[in-house]
Structure 1
Amino acid sequence: MLRPLIIALLLAAGPAAAQSVAFGGMKADSSAPVEVAADKLEVDQADGNAVFSGNVVIGQGEMRLSADRVTVEYANEDQSRIRSMHAVGNVTLVSGSDAAEAREAIYQVESGGVILTGDVVLAQGKNVLTGDRMTVDLVNGTAQVDGRVRSILQQGGN
């Protein structure tokens, strides 16, 4: 994908401190229904968790999360309500015109928070940020990138 080119470009750019950025172009509705598509589903009745694997795509309103494998944790008191989702492998989070990639992500559905970890790359138009960890607030449309943050910020115009 674009990751090798983006990483090579970022290595040539200077490092930056932890950065807060807008994310998603629009606020996500964390109360919207969650739709999941995958090649396989395994359910553990004992702990109430579900594991989706193979080409997993999760949609909620305008937000899309894809990964190789996603474990869904349901609320103990209400098995119809999702508490969190733990995505692993080739994770991509898209909201509005913004897109982020990482090795792992934890989506706290009730609060609308997503934590991406491991070689995080955030693309916003022509601007790119990388870091070790990105915390996204889908309710407010903001994100913070931490851990050896590097950025390429295009100057206006072309």
Structure 2
Amino acid sequence: MNHNLKLTLSKTLLKQAALAGLVVFSSAAAFAIPSDRNQPISLVADRATYNEKSGVTTYSGNVIIEQGTMRLQANSIVANLNSQKQISSITATGGPARFQQQTEVNKGLAKGQAQKIVYNAQTGIITLSGNAFLQQDGASIRGNTLKYSMNKGDVEATGTPNSTGSSSGRVQIVIPPSSSKSFPGARD
């Protein structure tokens, strides 16, 4: 293979990897504070592959993607594109996969982690599975599986059945004292 063809192929792969990186973050921008969208995207991984025919981009080996306050770290991230080159799903896996982002200017960082994090662009649902955990400003929720609907704004938490009454494997929710008044039925 001649040098010019190798250089052209390298440039093409780089452009495709950058495009897929932008696509990964376009879905996360829905949660971001406005200033995050204007920040550069940084993506580092040990390996990046893109298959134009299948529309699958894979980043593997200590993958870290950052844009403004948003940070996603995983062992691997797979982005699936549809025929219009739009994101259809993103799957991050790790031991665990972790993310953080400031969703509102007046709130602290929202942080989450799970063995697997899947974003479905069609449904707008993010599913964290395998010891899933979300926290922000002292409030937290833990379960085997957490599903967050970006469209509806609701969270569904599922634990593992436990007949012993212990908290192990069950859904756990922590509500800080200052937040308790915001829940229906809370007393002063």
Q: Which TM bucket (shorter chain)?
A: 0.5 to 0.7
More strand by share: 1
Give the TM-score of the pair, scaled to structure 2.
0.56
Asked if 1:37 corresponds to 2:46, the answer is: no
- Are the structure 2 counterparts of residues 154 and 28 from structure 1 closer, same or farther at C-alpha, using a change threshold of 3 Å? closer
Paired position in structure 2 for 1:56: 63
Asked if 1:92 corresponds to 2:114, the answer is: no
Stretches (4+) displaced over 6 A: none
Tell me the alpha carbon deviations over residues 107-148 of structure 1, each in whole angstroms, 9 at most, x when there is no partner. Answer: 123543210000011112222221000111234543222112
Q: Identity of paired residues, percent?
A: 22
Paired position in structure 2 for 1:129: 141
- Are the structure 2 counterparts of residues 140 and 64 from structure 1 closer, same or farther at C-alpha, using a change threshold of 3 Å? farther
Give the TM-score of the pair, scaled to structure 1.
0.65
2:60/2:75 contact within 8 Å kept: yes
Tell me how many residue pairs correspond in the alignment.
Answer: 127
- Are the structure 2 counterparts of residues 57 and 142 from structure 1 closer, same or farther at C-alpha, using a change threshold of 3 Å? farther
Q: Which has the larger radius of gyration?
A: 2
Q: 1:152 aligns with which of 174, 177, 182?
A: 174
Structure 2 unaligned regions, length at least 5: 1-29, 103-108, 160-169, 180-188
- Are the structure 2 counterparts of residues 132 and 107 from structure 1 closer, same or farther at C-alpha, using a change threshold of 3 Å? same
Distance (Å, rounded) in 2 between the aligned partners of 1:107 and 1:61? 20
- Are the structure 2 counterparts of residues 138 and 62 from structure 1 closer, same or farther at C-alpha, using a change threshold of 3 Å? farther
1:42/1:52 contact within 8 Å kept: yes
More helix by share: 2
Letter of the aligned partner of 1:93 in structure 2?
Answer: F
Give the alignment's Cα RMSD to 1 decimal: 3.0
Letter of the aligned partner of 1:28 in structure 2?
Answer: F
Structure 1 unaligned regions, length at least 5: 1-26
Distance (Å, rounded) in 2 between the aligned partners of 1:145 and 1:61? 28
Q: Report deviation, 1:36.
A: 6.5
